[in-house]
Structure 1
Amino acid sequence: MSQSLQGKTAVVTGSSRGIGRAIAEGLAANGAAVAVNYVGNKKAADDVVAAIASKGGKAVAIQADISVVDDVHRLFDQTENQLGAIDIVVANVGIAVIKPLIEATEADFDLVFGTNARGTFFTLQEAARRVRDGGRIIAVSTGGTRMFFTQTALYLGSKGAVEQFVRVLSRELGPRGVTVNALSPGFTDTDLLPERDRALAAGMSPFGRIGAPREVADVAVFLASDEARWLTGENIQAGGGVA
Structure 2
Amino acid sequence: MSIELKGEAKISGKNCIIAGGTKNMGGGTAEELAKFGCNLFLHFHSDKDKANAEALKEKLSKSVKVELWQGALDDESDVSKFFEAGEKFFDGGIDICLNFVGKVLKKPMVEFSAEEFESMDTVNNKIAFFFLQESARRINQNGKIVTLVTSLLAAYTPLYSLYQGTKAPVEFYSKGLSKELIPKGVSVNCVAPGPVDTSFFYSGGEQKQDIEFYKTVTIRQRLTYVEDVVPIMRFLVTEGYWITGQTIFCSGGFTAH
Q: TM-score range by the shorter chain?
A: over 0.9
Total equivalences in the alignment: 241
Question: Could you tell me which of 145, 158, 161 is aligned with 2:166?
Answer: 158
Q: Which amino acid aligns with 1:27?
A: L
Q: Deviations over 1:134-164 (max 9, x none)?
A: 0000011100110022211111101101111
Aligned ranges 1:176-191 → 2 under 5 Å: 176-191=184-199
Q: Match of 2:101, SS?
A: coil
- Between the aligned partners of 2:79 and 2:145, the Cα distance in structure 1 is 15
Q: Which residue number in structure 2 is paired with residue 10 of structure 1?
A: 16
Aligned ranges 1:125-140 → 2 under 5 Å: 125-140=133-148
Q: Match of 2:142, SS?
A: coil
Q: Match of 2:83, SS?
A: helix
Matched, 1:201 2:180: no
Q: Which residue number in structure 2 is paired with residue 97 of structure 1?
A: 105
Unaligned runs of 5+ in 1: none
Q: Would you say the 8 A contact 1:36–1:48 is kept in 2?
A: no
Q: Which residue number in structure 2 is paired with residue 65 of structure 1?
A: 72
- Between the aligned partners of 1:42 and 1:192, the Cα distance in structure 2 is 17
Q: Match of 2:249, SS?
A: strand
Q: Which amino acid aligns with 2:69?
A: I
Question: Could you tell me which of 197, 200, 220 is aligned with 1:192?
Answer: 200
Q: Give % identity.
A: 29
Q: Would you say the 8 A contact 1:142–1:185 is kept in 2?
A: yes
Q: Which residue number in structure 2 is paired with residue 212 of structure 1?
A: 225
Deviation at 1:114, TM superposition (A): 0.7
- Between the aligned partners of 2:154 and 2:228, the Cα distance in structure 1 is 20
Instruction: Please give the TM-score of this superposition, normalised by the length of structure 2.
Output: 0.89
Matched, 1:149 2:157: yes
- Between the aligned partners of 1:90 and 1:215, the Cα distance in structure 2 is 17
Deviation at 1:66, TM superposition (A): 2.0
Q: Which residue number in structure 2 is paired with residue 80 of structure 1?
A: 87
Q: Which residue number in structure 2 is paired with residue 27 of structure 1?
A: 33
Q: Which moved more, 1:157-166 or 1:189-198?
A: 189-198
Deviation at 1:80, TM superposition (A): 1.1
Q: Match of 1:126, SS?
A: helix
Matched, 1:39 2:45: yes
Q: Match of 2:89, SS?
A: helix
- Between the aligned partners of 2:66 and 2:162, the Cα distance in structure 1 is 33
- Between the aligned partners of 1:59 and 1:219, the Cα distance in structure 2 is 22
Instruction: Please give the TM-score of this superposition, normalised by the length of structure 1.
Output: 0.94
- Between the aligned partners of 1:68 and 1:38, the Cα distance in structure 2 is 15
Q: Would you say the 8 A contact 1:66–1:123 is kept in 2?
A: no
Matched, 1:232 2:238: no
Unaligned runs of 5+ in 2: none
Q: Would you say the 8 A contact 2:195–2:223 is kept in 1?
A: yes
